[in-house]
Amino acid sequence: MSQKDLRTVHFADLGRRAYQDAWDFQEALFADTLERKTSNRKAAREAGVPTKDYLLFVEHNHVYTLGKSGDYANLLANESQLKELGIEFYKINRGGDITYHGPGQLVGYPILDLDEHFTDIHRYLRTLEDVIIDTIAEYGLKGDRSPGETGVWLDVGTPFARKICAMGVRASRWVTMHGWAFNVNTDLKYFQYIVPCGITDKAVTSLHLEVGRAIDEDEVKEKVKRHFEARFNVVLEEGCWERLKP
């Protein structure tokens, strides 16, 4: 299959964004995609309004997010401590428990119409994990899955198991949103105020910590984009904030 035959995913790196700002933008793209699916798919294609796929990269300000089935007890800081630390908190509509987003972390939000790929959420999550596993392999790290737990881990099955990338998604009518949080140059001290993903017996790590040096984040982004294209069999088309508005 030639590149011109591949499905296009519209890509934008939103840079440093407040969590609410990026969430609202995701929701707008997500809602637009769902609206496009309300019409007969064949008629929509003939009218030139098929669904679109998106991939957003963003780096958030300090924030904790709790998934819809998460436990508030896994937030260990009270309101005054959060204010002192300069950390926001949001209860959101993805799966999974609590996690941290902040500077030095590569957050990826795919808004995909899985009807155009494969209608299997389990496979979707495993494919996202493969993207990160492929990426860290280029830095000499062997990423793996931990049975019953999403995300990408190192040294699974040992007392040293640790998570380098958390994942949590939402899907409706096979349209996805939310995604992954990949610790690149992340300051890991912010994880001490939560029970990350509700998991008490495993640590959190970063690419920086594992390779022992600061990481070129632009380099990491290019690697993730390349592996995303390969794993999802798509081509990314560069865009910008204004252009991608539905």
Crossing angle (nearest 10°) for helices 121-137 and 217-232: 140
Q: HSE (CB half, 13 Å, CA atoms) of 91?
A: 8
Distance CA 240, CA 58 (A): 12
Q: For the CA atoms of 128, 130, 135, 141, what is the dihedral angle to 10 degrees?
A: 130
List of residues 6+ apart from 152 with CB closer than 8 A: 129, 132, 133, 136, 143, 144, 145, 163, 164, 165, 167, 182
- Picking from 109, 19, 122, 14, the residue whose alpha carbon sits closest to that of residue 61 is 19
3-state secondary structure of 158: coil
**Residue 240 annotated in active site:** no
**Number of alpha helices (DSSP H) and beta strands (DSSP E) in the chain:** 7, 12
Beta-strand pair 203-204/162-172: parallel
Q: Of 177, 197, 204, 220, which one is the catalytic site residue?
A: 197
| Three-state secondary structure readout of 138-149 | CCCCCCEEECCE
- Catalytic center residues: 197
